[in-house]
Structure 1
Amino acid sequence: MALSRRVQHDEYPDWILAFGPFFVLAILVTAIYGVVSLVGVDWLAATETLDVLVVLTGIGFVAGILPVIVGMLWFPYFRRLDLGWIHAVLAFSAGILAYIAVEMALEAVGFAAEVPTPFVGESVAIGAVLVTVATMELASRWRSRKTASVSGDGLRVAYLVAIGLGLHSIGEGLAIGSAYVLGDVGLVALLTLGFIIHNVTEGPAVIAALAREQETPPLRHFAALGLLAGGGVILGGWIGSFVDSALVATLFFAIAFGAIVQVLWEMAELITSEVESLVTRRTSLGFVAGLAVLFLLEEVIVDGLLL
């Protein structure tokens, strides 16, 4: 069985499986640019509530769900890796998540300070983190019992990662929705482009745990994982277009932070369930690489575009 999962995609050379998603991403960005250039941006000036929701749903799908799905296209390549490299990919994903967790914590603290009553903002942030961690832990245990007879821990962890990333992506949607209602079309476009590039890295984070499984899950799980991980951009866009509240922003960023912290714990347990040491040369390099990639995307590429 272990052999069959390694040779399932042998008809494709490694370089195609490794670099194929980059080509898909390039085609996706080019197509979006072409459509926007052809149609123009007048359609962004919707004022009716329903039209606003439709526009933000489309933007959220392009900025959130599509890039995650593109990133998940690395799954066949990950399936060829041995266990040591799979752990390195998991560590890479953990590095991405850790960087996002720090961002979410800083955002939550920043918005909490803007709440008219600071004590209320701080209380909401701390309470949201604690409740989220507890809820995610209960959900993890429930799903572990439900999937124990049909799959390993990889699918459970993949769902937890997708949920954590989905909560994080609500913050991205808040930024897009706020820029949209302010009528800053240029900022909406730049944010969308930046989040497309950023969210491609979330695809591997979602499916890294699945690469260690003996059986490939049905496609419905991949669809659900992509929707969970990227769909938050749509929800955040809706919220950002109608609610301008530092307290609400504090709540969502704190929830995202709590969810990702719990997911990181799950990923560490997943690795240590198969090997004695969590920290190896490969996992250390993978974790640092994940941090470096997100730093490059967030602080250099995305911020460079916005400036």
Structure 2
Amino acid sequence: MSGRSIGDLPRSVLALGPIVVLAVTFAVLYITSPFGNLAGIDEASTLEIVWMLTVIGAIAGIIPVAIGMLWFPFIRDLDPRYLHAFMALAGGVLAFIALEMTDDAIDHAGAAENTLLAGGLVVLGVAATFGVMYAASKWRQRQMVTTEKSGLEIAYLVAIALGLHSIGEGLGIGTYFIQGESTQVMLLVLAFVMHNVMEGPTVVAAVARDHATPPLHHFAAMGVIAGGPVILGGWIGSFAQSDLLAALFFAIAIGAILQVLIEVAELIRFDAETVLTRVNAATFVTGFVLMFFLEDVLVDLLLEGWLLPV
């Protein structure tokens, strides 16, 4: 018994287990409505606001990413061809997020007082972030003693890119929170729980192709890096509501994700030499379509009250 691990569970359990955990989490949030009535938020102290937004951000960001990471044992045992396909699926998820954030950055830049300045910051933010991460990647590759590609390093880059994106999610939560809109806060949290659960396997997909499974603290760190910035975004959204700032954050996240997409493609090419296969192309499109369904279909139904009473 002492030698058994979670990886020894049946494949069906490893595949469906995270879905069950997600459903239970979603049901508990829906039934308990833990955020209560925010009508008296004006009377709350700064410390109370920071604490409540920390709890809300952890529920919306860190917990669903952690749930998604539970798919790691299932991904780990995939045939290399299907592992590459899963990494391509993660690329599709990232590509959709980048496209969505481009739309958000344009919207916020257009709503800013100085549209020209905001637009310039968006372009600069994307280019500068991409350039810095690209230069850091090349430096890291030159410093590596061997030619072995590290999936763990790529996973951390994915987590950082998703973390930058998570700030934007927190901005929305913080804005509604400080306005006392408890229903909107609850709906956003439920929407982000569904959406962010896909970030878990997106982060750990690259790790699965490494020979050794990294210690648990790496998974914990990547989960906090990817989902934790929802908390930071909530703080910013509640105390410093700014379209200019939001546009800049989205631009930084876009630049980071574009660089990470290149890293993921290079990681697949290192193992397989060919990135664009039929299977990889199909799973890339699947990841994109899946995120469209979660983000633009289910989330819209939630916010419009079709799935939950508003």
TM normalised by structure 2 equals 0.91
User: Given the superposition, is the C-alpha separation of residues 143 and 44 from structure 1 closer, same or farther in structure 2, using an over 3 Å criterion?
Assistant: farther
1:94 matched to 2:65:
no
- Report Cα offsets for 1:116-141 as digits up to 9, x if no partner: 22221111111111111122223334
Tell me what 1:137 maps to: 134
Tell me what 1:275 maps to: 272
1:249 matched to 2:246:
yes
Tell me what 1:231 maps to: 228
For 2:276, what is the secondary structure of its paired residue? coil
* Alpha-carbon separation, structure 2, partners of 1:22 and 1:148: 40
1:41 matched to 2:36:
yes
1:179 matched to 2:176:
yes
Tell me what 1:265 maps to: 262
User: Given the superposition, is the C-alpha separation of residues 10 and 97 from structure 1 closer, same or farther in structure 2, using an over 3 Å criterion?
Assistant: closer
| CA contact 2:7–2:74 (8 Å) conserved in 1 | no
* Alpha-carbon separation, structure 2, partners of 1:123 and 1:180: 30
* Alpha-carbon separation, structure 2, partners of 1:273 and 1:266: 10
- Report Cα offsets for 1:44-96 as digits up to 9, x if no partner: 84421111110000000000000000000000001110110011000100000
* Alpha-carbon separation, structure 2, partners of 1:146 and 1:181: 47
Residue range with higher mean Cα deviation, 46-55 or 216-225 = 46-55
User: Given the superposition, is the C-alpha separation of residues 274 and 56 from structure 1 closer, same or farther in structure 2, using an over 3 Å criterion?
Assistant: same
User: Given the superposition, is the C-alpha separation of residues 219 and 115 from structure 1 closer, same or farther in structure 2, using an over 3 Å criterion?
Assistant: same
User: Given the superposition, is the C-alpha separation of residues 49 and 292 from structure 1 closer, same or farther in structure 2, using an over 3 Å criterion?
Assistant: same
| CA contact 1:143–1:156 (8 Å) conserved in 2 | no
For 2:265, what is the secondary structure of its paired residue? helix
After superposition, residues 1-307 of structure 1 pair within 5 angstroms as 11-36=8-33, 41-42=36-37, 45-46=40-41, 47-144=44-141, 152-307=149-304
Q: State the number of aligned residues.
A: 299
Shift of 1:149: 6.6
* Alpha-carbon separation, structure 2, partners of 1:10 and 1:49: 45
* Alpha-carbon separation, structure 2, partners of 1:61 and 1:150: 38
Shift of 1:110: 1.3
Q: Percent identity?
A: 47
Shift of 1:299: 1.2
* Alpha-carbon separation, structure 2, partners of 1:124 and 1:78: 39
* Alpha-carbon separation, structure 1, partners of 2:156 and 2:145: 14
The amino acid that maps onto 1:303 is D
Shift of 1:108: 0.9
> Aligned Cα RMSD in Å?
2.0
